[in-house]
């Protein structure tokens, strides 16, 4: 049975083009359209689509308000269309906070002129979030943090100290990273590197948002940065971030043949030479398998790798790739990642 899709956009041009791209895929079927946020809520409740594509700027009710109301009345995986600007980044991050699962750049040129790449990305994302995005995972991601508690009996302990924590993620990552980092205390004794699949125009805005929300310092990484305890660096979108020495960051354009910029594998793998067994890497929610080969290198030097527990992921592709390759020392629910990090890294 085809995956049913509701398109929400006030532009008739976009609705026609997006409908054509979606309906050209044998696994997808557009079952309705809405021209404003209010109509989107009504049709989401009435039609119960498997996935909704959502614009932001619309009359009567904007996209973020519509996302919030849909997630209350008829929880549905929502894919936002976003402009690749700083303002677009802020809007997209607000939409993800409200419950949207993922986003795609919105460009008249891409839709009108060369739709092949857009069709591939659009259809792949719709299929992925329809098959795996779970309302319970989305609810878990935005639920209040659990109260601090003593380590539970049977939780794994590690003999080494951890001098570097790395977090790799993709779809669902912005909410997951926010959930984790806002629970990390200011005196956290290790530096943190974050690799999130995200456009270059988004990562600066995302780092700024996290910095305002967190007790630790969070910023977008720059070439030549040094690692400091209690500071988290976010890999810039569209570039690669790697360790160029103990505590020293290199940011560069990277090979165009790599699927992801930034790539979790690149950052994970580069840290092994300098930190060896003193690495704690966590692979969080996301499509694909980026991070698996980097995690394999970490395990070969006796570092530690965790995978986010599947039922708390928006998309469990990346963590599942770690688990299936027998690389995970632990699978940790999202709500427990920060607490486990503090417990294990601070000793």
For the beta carbon of residue 244, count every other beta carbon within 10 angstroms: 16
Asked whether residue 273 is domain-assigned, the answer is yes
Domain range spanning residue 211? 164-346
Asked whether residue 298 is domain-assigned, the answer is yes
Quote the pLDDT of residue 1: 86
Asked whether residue 150 is domain-assigned, the answer is no
For the beta carbon of residue 146, count every other beta carbon within 10 angstroms: 12
User: In the 3-class helix/strand/coil scheme, how is the chain assigned residue by residue?
Assistant: CCEEEEEECCCHHHHHHHHHHHHCCCCEEEEEEECCHHHHHHHHHHHCCCEEEECCCCCCCCHHHHHHHHHHHCCCCEEEEECCCHHHHHHHHHHHHHCCCEEEECCHHHHHCCHHHHHHHHHHHHHHHHHHCCHHHHHHHHCCCCCCCCCCCCCCCCCCCCCEEEEEECCCHHHHHHHHHCCCCCCCCCCEEEEECCCHHHHHHHHHHHHHHCCCEEEECCCCCECCCCEEEECCCCCEEEEEECCEEEEECCCCCCCCCCCHHHHHHHHHHHHHHHEEEEECCCCCCCCHHHHHHHHHCCCEEEEECHHHCCCCHHHHHHHHCCCCCEEECHHHHHHHHHHHHHC
Beta-carbon contacts of 87 under 8 Å, excluding residues fewer than 6 positions away, are none
Looking at the fold, whether 174 and 123 belong to one and the same domain comes out as no
Looking at the fold, whether 111 and 224 belong to one and the same domain comes out as no
Asked whether residue 139 is domain-assigned, the answer is no
Return the CATH number at 250: 3.40.50.180
Looking at the fold, whether 61 and 193 belong to one and the same domain comes out as no
Looking at the fold, whether 108 and 174 belong to one and the same domain comes out as no
Looking at the fold, whether 127 and 185 belong to one and the same domain comes out as no
Asked whether residue 158 is domain-assigned, the answer is no
Of 87, 110, 133, the one marking the end of a domain is 133
Looking at the fold, whether 197 and 280 belong to one and the same domain comes out as yes
Of 317, 319, 339, 316, which Cα lies nearest the Cα of 329?
Answer: 319
Quote the pLDDT of residue 111: 52
Asked whether residue 327 is domain-assigned, the answer is yes
Looking at the fold, whether 63 and 102 belong to one and the same domain comes out as yes
Looking at the fold, whether 339 and 257 belong to one and the same domain comes out as yes
Looking at the fold, whether 24 and 93 belong to one and the same domain comes out as yes
Asked whether residue 337 is domain-assigned, the answer is yes
Active-site residue list: 170, 197, 290
For the beta carbon of residue 47, count every other beta carbon within 10 angstroms: 17
> Consecutive sets of 10 residues in the chain, 347 residues long: mean pLDDT of each?
95 92 95 96 97 92 94 95 79 92 75 65 91 50 46 69 97 95 97 95 94 97 97 96 95 83 96 97 96 98 97 94 97 96 93
The total of structural domains in the chain comes to 2
Spatial distance between the Cα atoms of 125 and 22, rounded to a whole number of angstroms: 11
Asked whether residue 148 is domain-assigned, the answer is no
Of 228, 226, 216, 166, which Cα lies nearest the Cα of 196?
Answer: 166
Looking at the fold, whether 193 and 325 belong to one and the same domain comes out as yes
Of 133, 156, 189, the one marking the end of a domain is 133
For the beta carbon of residue 201, count every other beta carbon within 10 angstroms: 18
Looking at the fold, whether 111 and 226 belong to one and the same domain comes out as no
- pTM for the model stands at 0.88
């Amino acid at each position: 049975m085809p995956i049913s899709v509701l398109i929400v956009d006030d532009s008739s041009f976009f609705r026609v083009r997006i409908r054509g791209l979606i309906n050209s895929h044998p696994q997808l079927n557009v079952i309705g359209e809405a021209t404003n946020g209010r109509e989107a809520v009504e049709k989401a409740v009435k039609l119960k689509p498997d996935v909704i594509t959502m614009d932001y700027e619309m009359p009567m009710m904007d996209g973020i308000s519509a996302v919030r109301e849909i997630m209350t009345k008829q929880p549905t995986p929502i894919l936002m269309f976003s402009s690749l600007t700083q303002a677009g980044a802020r809007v997209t991050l607000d939409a993800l906070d409200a419950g949207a699962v993922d986003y795609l750049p919105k460009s008249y040129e891409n839709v009108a002129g060369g739709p092949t790449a857009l069709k591939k990305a659009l259809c792949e994302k719709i299929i992925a979030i329809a098959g795996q995005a779970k309302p319970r995972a989305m609810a878990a991601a935005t639920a209040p943090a659990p109260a601090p508690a003593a380590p539970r009996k049977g939780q794994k302990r590690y003999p080494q100290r951890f001098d570097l924590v790395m977090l790799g993620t993709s779809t669902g990552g912005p909410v997951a990273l926010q959930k984790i980092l806002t629970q990390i205390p200011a005196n956290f004794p290790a530096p943190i590197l974050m690799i999130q699949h995200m456009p270059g125009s988004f990562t600066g805005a995302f780092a700024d948002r996290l910095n305002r929300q967190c007790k630790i310092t969070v910023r977008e990484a720059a070439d030549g940065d040094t690692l400091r305890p209690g500071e988290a660096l976010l890999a810039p979108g569209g570039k690669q971030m790697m360790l160029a020495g103990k505590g020293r960051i290199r940011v560069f354009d990277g090979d165009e043949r790599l699927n992801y910029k930034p790539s979790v594998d690149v950052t994970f793998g580069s840290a092994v030479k300098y930190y060896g067994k003193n690495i704690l890497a966590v692979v969080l929610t996301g499509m694909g398998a980026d991070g698996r080969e980097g995690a394999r290198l970490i395990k070969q030097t006796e570092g530690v790798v965790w995978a986010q527990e599947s039922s708390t992921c928006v998309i469990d592709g990346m963590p599942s790739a770690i688990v299936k390759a027998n690389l995970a020392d632990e699978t940790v629910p999202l709500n427990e990642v920060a607490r486990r990090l503090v417990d294990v890294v601070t000793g």
